Structure 1
Amino acid sequence: MARSGITNMGEIAKSIADAKRKAIAHAERVNRNLANAVLQGVVEGTPEDTSVTVGDWQVGVNTVPQGTLDSSDPGGAGALARGQSQIATAKLGGTINIVNNQPHVDGLNAGNAVTKPAGWVERSIDAAKAGLR
């Protein structure tokens, strides 16, 4: 009489572990891509006068950046590079905080800038989320 059963449990466990590792890596990439898209959107959307507000976008992984940088960053290349460097360290389950601590940034987003319409922060978030689909 023949026996029935599973004889390759080691291979099945290895396959499950590999699938889990790949799923976590994929989720981390999606999370980082979303954060990078939001960062790029808010940096590009920030009205520039002295470009100090553009340069004040800061990213913290599992921390909330405090204080202001108060340095001019025309075009936001410095803010993007700093932020992307931080985002690259994010792991699944962590929190990525993208902040601008300039006291007038809320007013700029509310429409107090002549060069940009109100709501550019929210539009950046919406565009980043739409890009995931």
Structure 2
Amino acid sequence: MKTTLDKLNEELRVFAKTLAPDAVRVLQQSIALQVLSGVVLKTPVDTGRARANWQVGISTPPKGIVSEDTDPISKGTPTIVGNALPFSVVWINNNVEYVAILETGTSQQAPAGMVDVTLEEVRAQFFGV
């Protein structure tokens, strides 16, 4: 069974073949910024640790944990806009050990999780599905 991420990746690959590299870069950056914003804002907050630890990497996933006072959107946006080349892999991940549990809906603040909901919203916005 295909995951939401698999579906989005497949749709992006097909669509990107029809675009010039600069258009791919703009689309890629737009999608990455929306995914980053979506997962950050949907992450439930108790101490702020899980929300603060959404990190962005280009080509390789970021490692480690950051402090609770980090603003992941402000920190990740320049990485996406400044470093994402056409067809590069943009990693948006969270290394907090309990984030996968939050994604399963264990928090009343985010009973549907964060990642799958965000990916479905982005798919619908960009691909109308």
Q: Does 1:79 align with 2:76?
A: no
| Correspondence for 1:131 among 107, 118, 125 | 125
What is the alpha-carbon distance in structure 2 between the residues aligned to residue 127 and residue 49 of structure 1? 25
**TM-score, scaled to structure 1:** 0.76
Q: CA deviation at 1:104?
A: 0.6
Give the corresponding residue for 1:14: none
Q: Which runs of 5+ in 2 are unaligned?
A: 1-18
Q: Is the 8 A contact 1:62 1:95 kept in 2?
A: yes
C-alpha RMSD of the superposition: 1.4
Q: CA deviation at 1:111?
A: 1.4
The Cα offsets for residues 53-98 of structure 1, whole Å up to 9 and x where unpaired, read as 111000001111011113235xxxx100111111112001211000
Give the corresponding residue for 1:93: 87
Q: CA deviation at 1:131?
A: 1.4
Q: Which runs of 5+ in 1 are unaligned?
A: 1-21
3-state SS, counterpart of residue 106 of structure 1? helix
Q: Does 1:110 align with 2:117?
A: no
Q: Is the 8 A contact 1:50 1:72 kept in 2?
A: no
What is the alpha-carbon distance in structure 1 between the residues aligned to residue 30 and residue 123 of structure 2? 10
Q: Is the 8 A contact 2:24 2:87 kept in 1?
A: no
What one-letter code is carried by the residue in structure 1 that aligns with 2:22? A
Q: Is the 8 A contact 2:47 2:68 kept in 1?
A: no
Q: Percent identity?
A: 30
The Cα offsets for residues 21-66 of structure 1, whole Å up to 9 and x where unpaired, read as x821111000110011111110010000111111100000111101
Runs of 4+ with >4 A deviation: none
**TM-score, scaled to structure 2:** 0.78
Give the corresponding residue for 2:14: none
Q: CA deviation at 1:102?
A: 0.4
